[in-house]
């Protein structure tokens, strides 16, 4: 299995956690309805964490790699079994390699030029990061001249803001610290994380009717 589950196109971002917590967080988020989770490659021992996430993931849940900054990161992520790749910026050689090898690729971009370049190189989605610096109005403005580009706002996405972003034209979301809040993780509040994941999934589902 590879790629992104587009039925619930929310990507939970796991950064800086150890293997035990990765396993528990993947399980909790999956119980809450998340179907896509990424382990960032700047986490210590990231390839092993990807493997741990895959082992903990129930059927149907994809485990990808984020913060992929070059071909070395890409090879390590794919060798570990990553189902999709996310970059922090427009890393052209990574996008081209993923495109040629049939790997689902979500490059990060911010300006209209970067967004267009990432899409032109073959991105499946373009991660708009950091989204909270400009908000839903920016998504709407970008989608005006670039309606074909599928945008994935990431950074500061809350349960309450999903509807506005989706109404503006967003097709997916990346969610990190707002979902995997450090106090909850440190307290081992896996049920709390499951509840928060479910809130995001429900917000996504209900925003569909508002966007039509």
Catalytic residues: 38, 127
Six token digits for residue 49: 């964490």
> Which residues have C-beta within 8 Å of that of residue 78, sequence separation ≥ 6?
65, 85, 103
CA atoms within 13 A on the CB side of 87: 31
DSSP conformation letters of 123-150: -SSEEETTGGGT-HHHHHHHHTT-TTPP
Cα separation, 162 vs 195, in Å, equals 17
Residue 122 gets the label, from left (phi > 0), alpha (psi -120 to 50) or beta, of: left
Six token digits for residue 157: 């996405």
Six token digits for residue 167: 């109404």
């Amino acid at each position: 299995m590879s790629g992104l589950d587009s039925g619930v196109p929310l990507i939970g971002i796991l950064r800086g956690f150890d293997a035990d917590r990765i396993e528990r967080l993947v399980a909790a988020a999956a119980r809450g309805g998340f179907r896509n989770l990424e382990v960032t490659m700047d986490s210590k021992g990231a390839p092993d964490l990807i493997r741990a996430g895959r082992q903990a993931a129930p059927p149907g849940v994809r485990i990808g790699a984020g913060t992929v900054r070059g071909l070395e990161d890409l090879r390590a992520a794919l060798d570990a079994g990553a189902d999709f790749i996310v970059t922090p910026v427009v890393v052209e050689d990574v996008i081209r390699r993923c495109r040629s090898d049939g790997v689902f690729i979500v490059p990060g971009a911010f300006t209209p030029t970067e967004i267009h370049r990432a899409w032109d190189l073959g991105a499946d989605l373009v991660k708009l990061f950091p989204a909270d610096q400009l908000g839903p109005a920016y998504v709407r403005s970008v989608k005006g001249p670039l309606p074909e580009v599928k945008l994935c706002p990431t950074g500061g996405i809350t349960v309450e803001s999903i509807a506005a972003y989706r109404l503006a034209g967003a097709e997916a979301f990346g969610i990190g610290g707002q979902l995997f809040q450090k106090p909850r993780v440190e307290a081992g509040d896996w049920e709390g994380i499951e509840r928060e994941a479910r809130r995001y999934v429900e917000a996504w589902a209900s925003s569909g009717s508002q966007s039509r």
